[in-house]
Amino acid sequence: MVMFPERFSNLPAYAFPRLRALLDVHEPGGPVIHMTIGEPKHAFPAWIADIIAQNMAGFNSYPPNEGTPELRAAIRDWVTRRYGVTLDADTQIMPLNGTREGLYNVGMALCPETKNGQKPVVLMPNPFYQVYLISAISVAAEPVFVNATEATGHLPDFESLPDDVLDRTTMAYICSPANPQGAVADQDYWERLITLAEKHDFRVLADECYSEIYRDAPPVGALQVARDMGADPERVLVFHSLSKRSNLPGLRSGFVAGGPESMKRIQQLRNYAGTPLPLPLQKVAEAVWADEAHVDENRALYQEKFALADRIFGNVPGYRSPDAGFFLWLPVEDGEAAALKLWTETGVRVLPGAYLSQDTDAGNPGKGYIRVAMVAPITETERGLTQIRDCLFGSEDQ
């Protein structure tokens, strides 16, 4: 009999197949409005098509694994403008074929087989982006889920973990702005986390893919705090993407940046097992990282949606207005029941929060929430949000 690995055998169904199994056996209760997937629907810059057309010949060549020098320089310049941090474009930056590639492969490249003679631990927030878990499992590390709840400001309190766990920790994922809650790690949070990482000798993996969608002040970045603290340059790696910033999820373009020794190992893994971005698309990414006008326009559209959500849900008990990102994390009695009720009564599709979380001894922190993606045009978003409020919380007039 042919054998198969057991390492992924105990995983729950992925969130979206699980959602289809919950909803699709029922007829929608009205015109369908999709508010489940964080797939931006705002227009991307029209001039992108011209760049692709001008560089079509690049599809006839293998792209460089480490990215073109021009793209790395464009990313370096963006990091300098955005965070005031100067990176070496040749040794501290690597373009990615979507940040999920980097968030997964960072475990393969950097997680040691043991720590202090024991099985390594990888920390991650709960709820979390599922690739964090798969990366840890793939390198035979123990994933430890740290609940991010209202009590912790919807960010994981890694400092609450016992020393025996922290002493086995090799990496800690943190998403800021947080998916799904929209919470932002401030300077103090980053300083405490990096101090903890220095004390217990683990890396901080900062998933900052939503960094450019915010309300007022731009979120502080992990690299700038680490630099100001004088932390070990290898202590922090950051991951960024054009998917949310520039409405280009289909471009599959992002980057990872960090200390030169860490990047050397990440690049070596990419040499053997990576899938670099095609050259015409690297040219697009180069131009897009260099332009902020379209980012400002995009952010303004989301700020309208923040204001819209505040108006619609402002009187709902427990509503928390997000600081950044484009999700609402709405409190309900039971996320699955709420999602099913919405679908069968209105046709609005949302994601039960438990599908983004793991059960722990302290419970599943997503069970009492639904995640609502505000990515559609504003008129459709308003219609969907209004139906959610009226169906689950009672109409504005009640």
Instruction: Report the C-alpha gap between 397 and 390 in whole angstroms.
Output: 9
Per-residue confidence (pLDDT) for residue 398, from 0 to 100:
43
List beta partners, residue 203: 171
Torsion, Cα of 135, 139, 140, 142 (10° steps)? -40
pLDDT value at residue 6:
86
Burial 125-140 (b: 16+ CB within 10 A, else e): bbbbbbbbbbbbbebe
d(CA 19, CA 36): 9
pTM of this prediction? 0.96
Instruction: Determine the pLDDT at residue 135.
Output: 96
d(CA 259, CA 81): 19
Distance CA 83, CA 26 (A): 48
Residue 214 is classified by DSSP as B
CB 213 within 8 A of CB 324: yes
State the pLDDT at residue 9: 83
DSSP per residue, 17-34: HHHHHHHTTS--SSS-EE
pLDDT digits (tens, 9 = 90+) for 233-256: 999 999 999 999 999 999 999 999
Give the residue ranges of the chain where pLDDT is below 70.
Answer: 396-398
Architecture of domain 48-291: 3-Layer(aba) Sandwich (3.40)
Distance, CA of 324 to CA of 345 (rounded, Å): 30
**How many other CB atoms are there within 10 angstroms of residue 292's CB atom?**
14
- φ/ψ region of 325 (left if φ > 0, alpha if ψ in -120 to 50, else beta) reads left
The CATH topology of domain 15-38+294-393 is Aspartate Aminotransferase, domain 1 (3.90.1150)
**By three-state DSSP, how is residue 91 classified?**
coil
**Structural domain spans, the chain:** 15-38+294-393, 48-291
Backbone angles phi, psi at 54, to 5 degrees: -75, -15
Q: Exposed, middle or buried, 197 (CB in 10 Å: 0-12/13-18/19+)?
A: buried
381/377 Cα distance (integer angstroms): 6
How do residues 209-242 score in pLDDT, each as one tens digit?
A: 999 999 989 999 999 999 999 999 999 999 999 9
Rounded to an integer, what distance in angstroms lies between the CA atom of residue 212 and that of residue 297?
11
If you search the block for the tokens 């994390």, which residue do you land on? 329
